[in-house]
Structure 1
Amino acid sequence: MPSGRRAVLRLAAALGATATVGVLAADRLAAPDRPADAAPAPRHTPGAGSGAGPGAAGPGAKAVRPNPNAYRLRPMTAYAPPAYRRALPPVRQRPFLSVSGAGHSMVLTFDDGPDPRYTPGILDTLRRHDCRAMFFVCGEMAVENQDLLRRMADEGHVVGNHSWSHPLIPKLRPSRIRDELGSTSEVVERALGTAPLWYRAPYGAWNRHSFEIGAELGMEPLAWTVDTLDWTEPGADSIVRRVLDGAAPGVVVLNHDAGGDRSQSVAALRRYLPRLLDAGYHLTVPRR
C-alpha cells in the first residue's frame, strides 16, 4: 500500500479506534460460535480490495499467500507468557494496552515488517544492547523475508500477527478477517515452527469479529500506550522525544520497521534505547 494512502487511513482509523481501547480488566465477549478446530474460509487474492503493501521483494514481485484451508484453527502455546493465559473463549472486548506486573519495564513494538531495508538495523541495535522487542509482521512482507523472521526468533524477540495486507479490519467481512490473520499465522508457523500468540489490528482499528477470530487462532490482542507517530516521518528528534516523554513502567511503545521510509525510526532507536537503559528501564517481551 502506498505510504500516503496508508497514512490517511491510519489517521482516520485512529480517530475511530479511540473508543475501542481502554484499561483491561475482565472485559469479555461471549464465546464465538465457530469451534476452535474449524477450518477457515477459502482464501482470497493477496491484497484484494486493500492495496498491496510496500515492496519487500523488489518491483514486480508477488507475495504468494498460503492457502489457509490447510491451516487448522487451533491454540498455539509455545510462547505463552506466564502473566497471560492462552486465548480461550470468552474472548476480549478490548486489546491489552500495557504490560501489568512488569515492574520498571517497557515493551518496544515494531509494526508492518519485516523490511530488509530497515528491520536489520533495528535488530542490530537491539542485539547491541541485549534487548528484546515484539515485531507485528504483515504476511505479505513476512513471506518474502522469512530469514528475518528466523533472526527475530533466534535473537529472542516475539513475532506477532499484523494481518496479511494491512487492511482496515472493520471494513472486512469475517471471512476476510480470518483469511488475513490465518494466512499470516501460517507463514510465521512455517518459518518458526510455532504460530503467533499475539496480534495487532492495522491502524489500531479493532472490532468484535477481530477479537473472536484472533482468539480462535490462539492469539491475544495487544495495542499500545505510547505512539511515536514515526509513520508520519516527523524526524528522529521527535520520535526520541515522544518515547522518552512517554516512558513509564508497563507501557507499550509503537514503532514501525516498514510501510514507508523508516530510516528515522532506525536512527531514533539508536538514540533512545541507551537512554532508557540508563534511566533504569528493562525492555522486555512476553516470555514462554
Structure 2
Amino acid sequence: MSKLFKAPAAWLLCLALVTGMAPAPAEPVSKPEPTSSEQAVNAEAKPMTLGELRRKYSETFKFSGPEVKQIALTFDDVPDPRFTPKVLDILKKHGVKATFFVVGSRAKKHPELLRRIHHEGHIIGNHSYSHPLFKKQSVQEFKSEIERTEKVIERIIGYKPRLIRPPYGEINEEQLKWAKRQGYKIINWNVDSLDWKALSKEKVKRNVLSAVGPGSIVLQHAGGGTGSNLTGTIEALPDIIKVLRNRGYRFVTIPQLLSYKKAL
C-alpha cells in the first residue's frame, strides 16, 4: 500500500480497472474577468488609431464633408513668402475661397501675409506654433501650442480660429477630448496631393484629380521648410480648379462644407 500512496495516479488507475469506473475529469480552470482597472491599463497600452478616433469623435474630428458636389481646398504651413503669395494670386484670379492652416511662429514673422489671407476672404485655421508631432506630446503641451498660435493670430487679424489641423494629421485621444471640451473642430483630409515631396505639376494633378469626390477635403501646401519646393502645386492649382469646375464641383471653405456656423 505504501507504493500506492506514493503513486496516487497509479492507484487511481488500478481502482478504475477493478471497479470499471474512470475518475472524473478535472474541472477546467476559468480565468477571472479583467477588472475595470486592468481594462483601463490594457486600453492605455494600445492607443486608438486615427480611424478609431474618427469614429468615436465623429462630431469633432473630420476628414471629409457631406457627399455633395462641393470641395474644400486647404493649404498648410502658412504664411511663407516664397509660396503663399503665388497661391493667393491663383485663388484670387479664379474666384476661389480656401482654408489656410497657420503655423504660429511663421505668422509672427510674416504678419502682412496673414492679413492678406484674411482680407481676401479665406478662412484661417490653427496648425500649431512650432509644427510638432502632437500625438507624442502631453495635453498641456498640445494646449500650449494651440493657445500660443491663437494669441499670435488674434493680435494680427482680430480673432481666434476654432479649426485645428494637427501637423502630420496625428493627434491622440486625450488631446481630442480637450479640443472637444473647448469647442474646437479637428480638420484632417481625405485627398492628399503629396505636394510636399516636391512633385511635378502632373503628379500633383493626378494625386488630387484621381481621388476627389463629393465632400472632399484636399490637402495642399502654401508653405514649407528650408529647401521646400512647391512649384508643382502652384503650377497644378489652376488646372485642378478648371477640371473640377468642369466636373460640376463648387469650391467652398471648411465652415461652408461642414455647415459650421461658428468657425472663428
The normalised TM-score by structure 2 is: 0.73
Residue 212 of structure 1 deviates from its aligned partner by 2.9
**Any stretches of 5+ residues in structure 1 without a counterpart?**
1-16, 30-90
Larger Rg: 2
Counterpart of 2:81 in 1: which secondary structure? coil
Q: Which residue of 1 aligns with 2:40?
A: none
Kindly indicate whether the alpha-carbon contact (under 8 Å) linking 2:129 and 2:146 is maintained by their aligned counterparts in 1.
Answer: yes
Partner residue, 2:115 = 150
Q: Matches of 1:140 and 1:228 in 2, distance apart?
A: 24
- Does the aligned pair in 1 maintain the 2:53–2:173 contact within 8 Å? no
State the aligned residue count.
207
Q: Is residue 129 of structure 2 the alignment partner of residue 99 of structure 1? A: no
Find the counterpart in structure 1 of residue 173 from structure 2.
208
Describe how 1:1-288 pairs up with structure 2 within 5 A. Answer: 19-21=49-51, 27-28=56-57, 92=60, 95-100=61-66, 103-259=68-224, 260-285=228-253, 286-287=255-256, 288=261
Query: Match of 2:196, as an amino acid?
Result: W
Please state whether the residue corresponding to 1:100 is helix, strand or coil.
coil
SS at match of 1:112: strand
> For 1:149 and 1:161, how far apart are their aligned partners in 2?
12
Three-state SS of the structure 1 residue aligned to 2:78 is coil
Distance 1:218 1:191, change over 3 A: farther
1:217 Cα shift?
4.6
Q: Structure 1 residues 160 and 275, CA, compared in 2 at 3 Å: closer, same or farther?
A: same
**Alpha-carbon distance in structure 2 between the residues aligned to 1:235 and 1:28:** 36
- Distance change in 2, residues 1:221/1:282 (3 Å): same
| Residues 199-236 of structure 1: per-residue CA shift (max 9 Å, x gap) | 11111111123213333553200110001111111211
The structure-2 alpha-carbon separation of the partners of 1:207 and 1:18, relative to structure 1 and needing over 3 Å to count, comes to closer
Indicate conservation of the 8 Å contact 2:221/2:230, yes or no: yes
**Gaps (5+ residues) in structure 2?**
1-46
Hey, what's the Cα distance between the residues in 1 that align with 2:57 and 2:177?
A: 10
Is the partner of 1:151 in helix, strand or coil?
A: helix
Q: Which aligned segments of 4 or more residues in structure 1 are displaced greater than 4 angstroms? A: 22-25
1:121 and 1:244 map into 2 onto residues whose CA distance is 21
Distance 1:132 1:159, change over 3 A: same
More helix by share: 2
**1:195 alignment partner, SS class:** coil
| Rounded Cα–Cα distance in structure 2 between residues aligned with 1:217 and 1:120 | 32
Aligned CA distance change for structure 1 residues 117 and 18 (closer, same or farther; 3 Å):
farther
Contact between 1:97 and 1:225, CA under 8 Å: does it hold in 2?
yes
Q: Distance in 1 between matches of 2:234 and 2:174?
A: 34
| Cα distance in 2, alignment partners of residues 213 and 186 from structure 1 | 18
**CA 1:130–1:187 in structure 2 vs 1: closer, same or farther (change >3 Å)?**
same
Alignment TM-score, normalising by the size of structure 1:
0.67
The percentage of aligned residue pairs carrying the same residue is 35
Q: Partners in 2 of 1:149 and 1:168 — Cα distance? A: 23
Closer, same or farther: CA 276–23 of 1 in aligned 2, 3 Å: farther
Partner amino acid for 2:234? V
What is the root-mean-square deviation in Å for CA atoms of aligned residues? 2.2
* Contact persistence 2:48–2:172 (CA under 8 A): no
- Distance (Å, rounded) in 2 between the aligned partners of 1:23 and 1:266: 33
> Contact 1:136 / 1:159 at 8 angstroms: preserved in 2?
yes
